A and B are shown apart, each in its own frame.
Chain A
């Protein structure tokens, strides 16, 4: 059995930031990730980040990933790759699968930074080869440098859909259109306008009702939908494509939180069911969360939340002076407030407040 002060589950932006924050305070930390590379989605993100300088604006995603890895290394945090966590049991015993064998890790504190998984939608033919999530397409082009197809139809105009479409185009594919069921583009106009300038049609108020093809996709039938999302099949038409990508939202990966019986809440603005946490991202006596598991946001918020959880753990373990820690957390909250402002951000900010309020209302505190 491995004994450790802090186990961070998930080596994406939140998990690495948590490891760095705790490691800096001298907390003996292990970060585990089931992938062969740490960094989560950052290594697929070749675009520059927005926002202010403190949020690494202007830096490309994979560069941020490299910076985080460097810091983790400097802080003496161990990173176990190809390591899957399969369960959390009594007394903070965590079952990990490493090198084909299961073993136990006993951690004083645990941070869940398990992220989110991509959603899919179902229609006739939606399991044909050639249909994949936007994240999968991004992995093809940005990690493995392979085009998933030549003519791509994207479903969803959130930032993931818009950015991936643009990157597919940059990688040499033809993006034949972006389909969006609602009447408005979901993501930032900056990204949408880049596509428009490149002449890529954005079909607002449309949805895919069928994928055509015998052994793989060779077309998609799309049809208009009204404001109540009712499909008008009489006006459907065929789009020639060999690949269909889903960019239809993300769902927090909360299985491990459920396994420790953390109370769960439904928040549609944050991606669905989430563990209820306090203002230090704590969900049970010894377990914290950070990043998309606490509500689907962005890499920048995930990094701040990771730092927050890392600082909170260091304080609880007595490795960080209380006053100093409180001050650091205040600073993090100031930065988070900036990230959670504006048209989209403010909705997330109030959803987050609601969760924290809910936690305070719960009787008996943590288990």
Chain B
């Protein structure tokens, strides 16, 4: 029988990794379980961007600010590379309406000290010289945005936790839970049972499925994003580029013009797009998504069309029904902590993970995360999808 530990963290992505990292730092014994392996889901399948202006001012931006400091710390105390670079980032607009809404949106960020501006036409080329301004009419620039290395960070958290005595179990799928007196007693997996004082669920898009085993119905859905990566090339794209509709909230279902990309430290460019295929479990790659993505990229960057695409993949990302993270202790199971649906998790995971570790160990409680409580989905009514 496996020895009882202080905390079981389910999900070896960046959020689970950060939580495990801080719990281990505080001297707790931790077991990390993953149905596949570390960074094999959305944490290893994204563009690695720091996104600011798609977040509401509040705890998320506080987390973001603190996280940038923490990333520096990880590097300084030589724990792991983050490749963090605050290059500034742009959100793309395609018409006057979007630009107008964009102007309104960035005002609130300027008011709280962020350096944002709307770039029009040729000015966009100051940030991204290769972008086609015949298509892209404007962009919201934010100086505090940038890029990082998602693999290095996720594995950095987990390797550090493991080095300090935590254990990672790959290919370990949670099949069920044993519950007594509103406490999770046992986590049953395909590799046997695990026991802990507390259980953390950081399973991203898979959270709804997993929680159904506890008769909970968290309203968290999946979206499948197609991504591709090029051969390494000389630096030609400065910062992260994201679809403006994320920033200004004009995203329509079935919208296809969603191009996001980042050029990484090693020269490769990852090009991604949310195909808006909700509730799609399939981890396969869609023909239409791939063709459309290549087309979008070549329209936006006509001078870069001869890049070689060396790999294509899909990433399943979570979407919470009310667009807020699910973060905090369950109201129903007293030793269950949930951290899922944290949008653009790499921007906030270090601080959110650190706070989660504090909350889990009952050192602190932060009222700013009250509205993220999982209890909002535990009132009993089932969500009709």
Contacts and interface: CB of A to CB of B under 8 A. Distances in A.
Interface in B270-304: 282-287, 290-291
Interface in B291-324: 291, 312
A1 to B, nearest CB: 10
A89 B283 contact: no
A90 B284 contact: yes
Contacts of B286: 89-90
Contacts of B287: 87, 89-90, 93, 95, 104
A259 interface: yes
Interface in A221-273: 259-261
A46 to B, nearest CB: 33
A102 interface: yes
A132 to B, nearest CB: 21
Q: Is the interface of A mostly helix, strand, loop or mixed?
A: strand
A247 B287 CA distance: 37
Nearest to B309: A86
Q: How large is the interface on B (under 10, 10 to 19, 20 to 34, 35 or more residues)?
A: under 10
Most buried by B among A90, A93, A259: A90
A89 B282 contact: no
A50 B240 CA distance: 58
B285 A259 contact: yes
B40 to A, nearest CB: 12
Given A87-B312, A259-B312, A95 B290 contact: yes
A42 to B, nearest CB: 28
Contacts of A87: 285, 287, 290, 312
A261 B313 CA distance: 10
Contacts of A260: 284
Contacts of A93: 287
Contacts of A102: 291
Contacts of B291: 95, 102
A95 B285 CA distance: 11
Contacts of B285: 87, 89-90, 259
Interface of B: 282-287, 290-291, 312
Given A87-B290, A90-B287, A259-B285, 18 more contacts: A87-B285, A87-B312, A89-B284, A89-B285, A89-B287, A89-B290, A90-B282, A90-B284, A90-B285, A90-B286, A93-B287, A95-B290, A95-B291, A104-B287, A259-B312, A260-B284, A261-B283, A261-B284
6 contacts: A89-B285, A90-B286, A104-B287, A260-B284, A261-B283, A261-B284
Interface of A: 87, 89-90, 93, 95, 102, 104, 259-261
Q: Which 9 A-B pairs have the closest CB atoms?
A: A89-B287, A90-B284, A93-B287, A95-B287, A89-B285, A89-B286, A104-B287, A102-B291, A90-B282
